[in-house]
Amino acid sequence: MGVKVKELAELTGAKIFGDENLEIENVAKIQDAQAKDLALLYLKSYEKYAAVTNAGCLLIDEKIERKRDDLTYLVHSAPRIAFLKILKAFFDKPVDITQEEAIDPTAKIGENVKLGCNVIIGANCEIGAGTVIGHNTVILADTKLGENCFIYPNVTIRENCIIGNNVIMHSGVVIGSDGFGFEPDEKGVFHKVPQVGNVVIEDDVELGANVAIDRAALGSTIIRKGVKIDNLVQIGHNVEIGEHTVLSGQTGISGSTKIGSHVILAGQVGVAGHLEIADGTIVAAQSGVSKSLVKTGKYFGTPAKEMGLALKLEAHVRSLPKYAERIKALEKELEELKQQINR
């Protein structure tokens, strides 16, 4: 059973342009939304999706132009706050962790699955054949875990996540923790934005110890086939990592960034949100990526620059004391020359 657009407008104070009786059954990213979905559009950089989205209704900032007659619009001066109200009222489902048995009777466990001590598997989970799950691991409801996976002790996989075959997770991994989503009100008080998406991990992925991958706010955080992730890596909500990419220790990727295939991010690389990194790119250790890297290459520094330029700049920075002494000497010579001319 859906909720009518006019109910959403009454809740938020938004203005309706279109069908007020349209029933909304879900919320989705504007790129993925379908006819019964509500999508949010507040960033200018995402306006390109408005022309092609299949969403039934768009919640938009009043500064964004309405260009389609086949869509219903909700227009609001603070669309993110309005969206937060809608999520909390209609789409934020509480997580049930009160099951009476360690292995919920509705869970489907494949052949030759091995379970350690104190393993918890929630309702409607599916565990593929040959998978090994270590001690004290918790897998919450509606999660699917593929065949021949090896899950070391003390791993947490939260609800609705989808994990492929031959996946390895080392101890301390957390899959599907809430994305870092908070919205300030007019008083500067931060309110939690419900994170109603999930995490999708494809085949042959390995995750090092204490890796944290946040669930999407809407849609999915996606780790593609063959990705290898080192210890202590943080991946934010709605990030997508391309096939056979490598992320080294202590790397952090902010929300909604898309990393290409066969990319290497060395240790302690930081990547800002809503960016893209091209296939085959290499980013050297301790670099900070503040803008999209749309050209394949090697990058270094903060902000990250093409490797050749970055090394030249670094060489000049190290030579600054010498440059300063030379400038002082030249200034002294120039002053002496002026004095001679003035005599």
Question: Is 108-306 in the same CATH topology as 3-91?
Answer: no
Give the pair of three-digit tokens for residue 316.
Answer: 């000049």
User: What pLDDT is stored for residue 98 in this prediction?
Assistant: 81
Neighbour-count burial of 161, counting CB atoms closer than 10 A to its CB (0-12 exposed, 13-18 middle, 19+ buried): buried
Q: DSSP class of residue 91?
A: I
Three-class secondary structure of residue 147 per DSSP:
coil
Token pair for 136: 């004290």
Q: Which residue do the tokens 């706050």 mark?
A: 81
- How far, in Å, are 49, 63, 161 from residue 43 at the CA level? 11, 10, 28
Which residues, other chains included, contact 135 with Cβ-Cβ below 8 Å and sequence gap of 6+?
A: 116, 117, 118, 119, 153, 154
Is it the case that residue 90 has pLDDT exceeding 80?
yes
Question: How far apart, in whole angstroms, are the C-alpha atoms of residue 218 and residue 210?
Answer: 24
- The answer on pLDDT for 343 being more than 80 is no
Confidence grade of residue 26 (pLDDT, cut at 50, 70, 90): very high
| All structural domains of the chain with their residue ranges | 3-91, 108-306, 312-343
Task: Identify the pLDDT of residue 100.
Answer: 79
pLDDT of residue 95: 81
**Overall fold of domain 108-306:** UDP N-Acetylglucosamine Acyltransferase; domain 1 (2.160.10)
Given 76, 237, 262, 316, the catalytic residue: 237
Q: How confident is the model at residue 294 (pLDDT cuts 50, 70, 90)?
A: very high
Please report, to the nearest 10 degrees, the dihedral formed by the alpha carbons of residues 292, 179, 197, 101 taken in order.
150
Q: What average pLDDT does range 11-23 have in this prediction?
A: 95
For residue 303, is the peptide bond before it cis, meaning its omega torsion is within 30 degrees of 0?
yes
| Residue 1 pLDDT | 64
Q: For residues 114 and 133, is the Cβ–Cβ distance under 8 A?
A: yes
Mean pLDDT along residues 318-326: 92
Residues 26, 31, 34, 35: is their CA dihedral positive or negative?
A: positive
Give the tens place of pLDDT for each residue, 241-280.
Answer: 999 999 999 999 999 999 999 999 999 999 999 999 999 9
Provide the 8-state DSSP code for 293: B
Q: How far apart are CA 290 and CA 89, in angstroms?
A: 35
* Averaged pLDDT, 185-209: 94
CATH of the domain spanning 3-91: 3.40.1390.10
| Mean of pLDDT over the chain | 94
Q: Is 237 noted as a catalytic residue in this protein?
A: yes
Q: Which residues of 236-275 are buried (b: 16+ CB within 10 A; e: fewer)?
A: bbbbbbbbbbbbbbbbbbbbbbbbbbebbbbbebbbbeeb
pTM above 0.85, yes or no: yes
pLDDT of residue 338: 85
**The pLDDT of residue 157 is above 80:** yes
Cα-Cα end-to-end distance for the chain: 96
Tokens 């989205």 belong to which residue?
53
pLDDT of residue 340: 84
pLDDT of residue 29: 92
